[in-house]
Amino acid sequence: MNDTISLIMNHRSIRKYKETPVSQELLERIVAAGQMASSSSHVQAYSVVAVTDPAKKEKLAELCGGQAYVRDCPTFLVWCADLHRLKKAAEQHMPELETYEDTTESFIIATVDTALAAQNAAVAAESLGLGIVYIGGIRNRIAEVSELLGLPELVYPVFGMCLGYPDQEPGLRPRLPLKAVLHMEGYDADEADRELEAYDETMVRYITERTSGERTAPWTQLMADKLSKPARLHMREFLKQKGFELK
């Protein structure tokens, strides 16, 4: 164990923040740390929109499903997969050739690049005493978010991130057992299934205690419930309209 691993192992999602603003210097340092994440072929296919304007955060909170912490956090970051600049580079240097910025592979690269950079930034922020929570709700009404932020063709919001100084101390949420995730030399489905049984018991105890008995469902039940409900089926059409034809 070292300081870096200890920091990572103590990550919690923060949903309540002090009013203290995040300085521009700290914001730039955090995003710069994000930029040092690995990037496929050095394409760096992401951009970040930082929002501090109260009215705009209020609107984003509404678009994210009424999540108050989007409104209340000092800085809200919208992490975007960005193939727009790559297309511009191709048009500059190879205007006569067909290019493939809108393929499924390019889409995957941009989305993964965005996630890697964001997680680097999250660790950097926590090392500086700040807290974060990822906001997948940014995709609930993604076309309106895109319009609000002026996102061009081939740019889409992957997720949001609240950023600020924590005003709460939430407990650690138990993760899957390591043996359910780490497979040596090949995938061991039987072992993974056995580990899920133990994890269900752990999560029942955690959820029961956290909710004072109001919720007691095991993790597998929660995941089954999640998969039984369609979610954000508008994404495919939105991405197509944004130029992601996904060849």
Q: What is the model's pLDDT at position 1?
A: 85
Average pLDDT over residues 185-191: 95
Contact 18, 164 (CB under 8 A): yes
Q: Is 172 exposed, middle or buried (0-12, 13-18, 19+ CB in 10 A)?
A: exposed
Q: pTM for this structure? A: 0.94
Q: What is the pLDDT of residues 57-91, one digit of tens each?
A: 999 999 999 999 999 999 999 999 999 999 999 99
- The CATH 3.40.109.10 domain(s) of the chain lie at 3-171+230-241
Q: Would you call 85 helix, strand, or coil by DSSP?
A: helix
Q: What's the whole-number mean pLDDT along residues 46-57?
A: 98
pLDDT of residue 148: 98
CA distance 197 to 38: 35
CB 246 within 8 A of CB 104: yes
Q: What rounded mean pLDDT belongs to the chain? A: 96
Kindly report, residue by residue over 90-121, the tens digit of the pLDDT. Answer: 999 999 998 888 899 999 999 999 999 999 99
Q: Which CATH class is domain 3-171+230-241?
A: alpha beta
Phi then psi for residue 132, to 5 deg, are -140, 160
Q: Which residue has the tokens 């101390």?
A: 169
Which uninterrupted H or E stretch holds 181?
A: helix 178-181
Characterize 1-38 residue by residue with b for buried, 16 or more Cβ atoms within 10 angstroms of its Cβ, and e for exposed.
eeeeeeeeeeebebbbbeeeebeeebbeebbebbeebe
